A and B are shown apart, each in its own frame.
Chain A
Amino acid sequence: MDITLFWISFIAYFTATLLHILFLSLKSNRLSVGATVFMGLGFLMQTAAMIARTKISGHLPLTNMFEYVTVLAWFAGGAYLVSAWKLKLRILEAVTGPVIFMLYVSASLLPKQAESQLMPALQSVWLQIHVSLAAFGEAVFLVAFVASLLYLIKARTAPVVPGSFRDRLPSADTLDELTYRCVMIAYPLFTIGALFAGAVWAYKAWGNFWSWDPKETCSLIVWLVYSAYLHARLVKGWRGKKCAVLNIVGFVWTLFTLFSNLILGGLHAYGV
């Protein structure tokens, strides 16, 4: 049941992606509205899938790579819908939507078996706190990443061709400010969820707050990059291209960290 709902939401997100691409080419607002509707449908179906999976397995769907990537995509879908409602920046939606769909594609390639019996190490309330906050933070980092990419396109010095993609983008300042606001929301979630809650859980389970596990270390690097971003912006007054590049590096590393346990092993490898 949960897998069927997953595939229905997959189709909805795929349709939204097609509509987004058509919107970018044909510039019709109706296509953008249609894309947002399908993103909303996909989000609802995905919510239903997560509820179904929770009922089947007896626990929240946070315990393996498939579940984590779908939860991350779900939070990102929620962030997309909130930004569509609040900001109404169609171009931003048109780029964010397909990025979310790419997450969904990667989830579709992972083993989807729901495991009702959690391993002893995962039987803790800290699982819910650590994983959900980390996913929430990373989802908002995703929106910031898209805003930074669009900033770099908008802020190029070459003359703008009227009606071009670059011309249709919001102002560079708007994109820069949006990036900053997203990082401000995401950074505490990621710090408290991924690092602090993870450390407390490790202490409860294994006696050690920090053991330089590959995924832990990669998450620390993510945190250092975003810490540098915030310090440079808040204290040094950095704006613009430097911030955008730092933000993009941070999210690319976040993506690597997400899949690092598949390559590097370590304590988090049980989540495969």
Chain B
Amino acid sequence: MKKTLQTLGSLKIALWLFFALGAVSLLGVIVPQRPGSGFLHDLYNSVPFLALLFLCALNLTVCVITRITANLAHVFKKEFIREPENLRAMKHHRELDRDGFADTAIIHLTKALQQKGYSVKENSDEDRRILYASKGVLSKVGSIVLHLGVLVLFAGGLVSSRMGYVDYLKLGSGAAAPVRERPFTIHVDDFRIVLNKEGKVKSYETDAELKGKDGKTILKKTIRVNDPLIHDGIHFYQSSYEEAPASVHEVRLRLTLPGGPDTTLTAVFGTGVSLPRGNTLYLHDYFCDFSLDMKTREPSNRSANPDNPALMATLMSAEGDTIFQSWLFFNHPEFHGMRPDNPVRVTLESYRPEYQTVLQVRKNPGVPFILTGILMASVGLLLLLYVPVRRVYALALTAQGRTRLLVSGTSSRFEGSFIREFGAIVDGPPKEGA
């Protein structure tokens, strides 16, 4: 069992897993990815890839468990070195003679160490005083915090993928939609594209309201990119926008009157336009991608893309009689239902589309874990790599009224600055009695 654990948590396995994860990820970069398109084209959702991630998490978990004791022991270890030879064997060591007894030398050294932020512990034997000082030992837990943080991050991702969902709602101004798994609906009061002075897009804004079952407003907010609406664990993001499939803002028409020059006019969709002889032209029923069911003769949108925009125009007389009713096709102006003897011929020249917002609705229960994991991993990483563990050992031996002080030290990182610090600690001005 112990051997299995050691193998599962071994660095060799970890390095191979790094390599495998990198290689498979690279494959996903080279081969175009389209969710639901089979193994190679949906690699990151495939079972083998998820199994690889599981192995990485398992290796990490075992590594943390097996190494946590050793790491924590490092934090709490106190090492009193009693033999001068052991101190002399260290890379940074000094020997000094001080007048007076060991107590005084140790007191001065302790003060100097404490001023530099060291935690100092003392011990003594019959003929010697022994000192151990350390700082930065917390960085030893940096490794644990870092690796635990990555595990928490993994866990958060798993929670979100299993218990979360993503929906897309396409809503025009005034439209509403229910929110999955929640007792409220989202209402869009307005959607706008805000332009700057040069006509470039500054922001996409959706004025949204959440309303309860009783119709009362729970929350109101303008949703923008980087500024989602968040309520009860559901996030609403400004995802994109598109042309409304069944409405336009206004249209530009060319009117051909018999015997007269063509004229153009702009009209708001859904209204009537007054024409000569008391006739009125009504513009209604817009389809962005017009298609006719040949059996039922019912029009509909083939898609949400503006591939075949068509608008219904109805010309009515002053008496309320319908003179003609015709689809006006933007891409096919020659295709219409007007007769040569109609009092006017109408052509759709252009239109200003009405836009609807596309909101991404996301339930992401793993977010607190992921953010916590990121924070833990960041703190752990900074502790591990930027905070050096420094230890200073000292031995004070007294003989014939004089004290021989041996001081040694180690630093896990930034040795240059440690050498300067060590020198300042040891060579600090002798205090009274020294």
Answer whether A and B are interacting partners. Answer: yes
Which residues of chain A from 121 to 140 have any CB-CB distance to chain B below 8 Å in the complex?
A: 121, 123-124, 126
Task: Please give me the residue from chain B that is nearest to A115 by CB atom.
Answer: B200
Kindly provide the distance from the CB of B70 to the nearest chain A CB, expressed in whole angstroms: 12
Q: How far is the CA of A123 from the CA of B201 in the complex (A)?
A: 12
| Chain B residues near A264 (CB-CB < 8 A) | 29
Q: Is B196 an interface residue (CB 8 A)?
A: yes
Residues of B within 8 A of A157 (CB): none
In chain B, positions 369-399 with a C-beta closer than 8 Å to chain A are 370-371, 374, 377-378, 381-382, 385-386
**B228 located at the interface, meaning its Cβ lies under 8 Å from any Cβ of chain A in the complex:** yes
Confirm or deny: B181 has a beta carbon within 8 angstroms of a beta carbon on chain A. no
> In the complex, which residue of chain A has the Cβ closest to the Cβ of B67?
A235
Is A171 in the interface zone, CB < 8 Å from B?
Answer: no
A218 & B15 in contact (Cβ 8 Å cutoff): no
**What residues of B have a CB within 8 angstroms of the CB of A124 in the complex?**
226
Do A120 and B18 have beta carbons less than 8 Å apart?
A: no
CB-CB under 8 A from B385, the residues of chain A are 184-185, 187-188
Q: Does B287 contact A (CB under 8 A)?
A: no
In the assembled complex, A196 has its CB within 8 A of some CB on chain B? yes
Q: Evaluate contact between B22 and A225: CB separation under 8 angstroms.
A: yes
CB contact under 8 A between A192 and B381, given known A231-B11, A231-B15:
yes
Work out how many contacts link A and B, with CB atoms closer than 8 A: 103
A residues less than 8 Å from B381 (CB atoms): 187-188, 191-192
Known: A188-B386, A217-B28. A204 touches B202 (CB 8 A): no
**What residues of chain B lie closer than 8 Å to A199, measured between beta carbons?**
370, 374
Asked if B374 contacts A200 (CB within 8 A), the reply is yes
Nearest residue, chain B, Cβ from A200: B374
* Set B14, B28, B362: member contacting A212, Cβ < 8 A: B28
Q: Is the CB of A214 within 8 A of B364?
A: no
B44→A209 contact, CB < 8 A = no
Map CB proximity to B onto A234-252 as digits: 1 under 8 Å, 0 otherwise. Answer: 0110000000000000000
A221–B25 touching, CB < 8 Å:
yes
Whole-angstrom distance between the alpha carbons of A77 and B378 in the complex?
26
Q: Check if A207 sits within 8 Å of B22, measured CB to CB.
A: no
A220 within 8 Å of B (CB atoms): yes
Q: Is the CB of B202 within 8 A of A207?
A: no
Closest to B363 in A: A207
Does B252 lie at the interface of the complex (its beta carbon under 8 Å from any beta carbon of A)?
no
State whether B25 touches A217 (Cβ < 8 A): yes
Contacts of B378 in A (CB 8 A): 188, 191-192, 196
CB distance from A160 to the nearest CB of B (A): 28
Q: Which A187-225 residues have C-beta < 8 A from chain B?
A: 187-188, 191-192, 196, 199-201, 203-210, 212, 214, 217-218, 220-221, 224-225
Q: CA of A121 to CA of B240 in the docked complex: distance in angstroms?
A: 11
Chain B 336-363, CB within 8 Å of chain A: the 1/0 string? 0000000000000000000000001010
Question: In the complex, what residues of B have CB within 8 A of residue A185's CB?
Answer: 385
Q: Are B25 and A220 in contact (CB under 8 A)?
A: yes
Interface pair A117/B196, CB less than 8 Å apart: yes
CA distance A120 to B201 in the complex (A): 8
- Find the A residue at minimum CB distance from B23: A221
Indicate if B123 sits at the interface (CB-CB under 8 A). Answer: no
* Minimum C-beta distance from B154 to chain A (A): 11
B18 to chain A, nearest CB (A): 5
Closest beta carbon of chain A to B44's beta carbon, Å: 5
Cβ-based interface call for B219 (8 A):
no
CB atoms of B26 and A206 under 8 A apart: no
Residues of B within 8 A of A218 (CB): 29
Q: Is B335 an interface residue (CB 8 A)?
A: no
> Which parts of A83-137 form the interface with B (CB within 8 Å)?
117, 119-121, 123-124, 126
Measured between beta carbons, the chain B residues less than 8 angstroms from A231 are 11, 14-15, 18
In the assembled complex, the Cα of A159 lies from the Cα of B224 at a distance in Å of: 66
Q: Is the CB–CB distance between B226 and A236 below 8 Å?
A: no
Complex Cα distance A206/B200, Å?
21
- B127 at the A/B interface (Cβ < 8 Å)? no
A152 at the B interface (CB under 8 A): no
**Chain B: CB-nearest residue to A203:** B367
A227 at the interface (CB under 8 A from B): yes
A residues in contact with B226, CB < 8 Å: 120-121, 123-124, 126, 201, 204-205
Complex Cα–Cα for A119 and B371 (A): 26
B166: which A residues are within 8 A, CB to CB? 207
Residues of A within 8 A of B104 (CB): none
Contact indicator per residue, chain A 68-87, by CB within 8 Å of chain B (1) or not (0): 00000000000000000000
> Do the beta carbons of A205 and B371 come within 8 Å of each other?
no
Q: Is B28 touching A117 in the complex (CB atoms < 8 A)?
A: no
Q: Flag whether B157 is at the interface (Cβ < 8 A).
A: yes
- In the assembled complex, A272 has its CB within 8 A of some CB on chain B: no
Determine whether the beta carbon of B18 is less than 8 Å from that of A188. no
Bound state CA distance, A217 and B32, in angstroms? 13
Residue in chain B with minimal CB distance to A227: B18
> Closest CB-CB distance, B25 to chain A, in whole Å?
5
Alpha-carbon gap, A119 to B196, bound state (A):
11
CA gap between A227 and B147 in the complex, in Å: 12
- Contact indicator B228/A204 (Cβ below 8 Å): yes
Nearest residue in B to A222 (C-beta to C-beta)? B22
Give the interface of B toward A (CB within 8 A): 11, 14-15, 18-19, 21-22, 25-26, 28-29, 33, 44, 157, 166, 196, 198, 200-204, 224-228, 235, 237-239, 360, 362, 364, 367, 370-371, 374, 377-378, 381-382, 385-386, 413
A-B contact pairs, 27 of them (CB 8 A): A120-B202, A120-B226, A121-B226, A123-B203, A126-B226, A185-B385, A187-B381, A188-B386, A191-B378, A191-B381, A200-B374, A201-B226, A206-B237, A206-B360, A207-B228, A207-B360, A209-B370, A212-B25, A212-B28, A217-B28, A220-B25, A224-B25, A225-B22, A228-B18, A231-B15, A236-B11, A264-B29
Instruction: Identify 8 new A-B residue pairs, CB closer than 8 A, beyond the known A205-B225, A206-B239, A220-B25.
Output: A117-B200, A123-B225, A199-B374, A206-B237, A207-B166, A207-B360, A217-B28, A228-B18
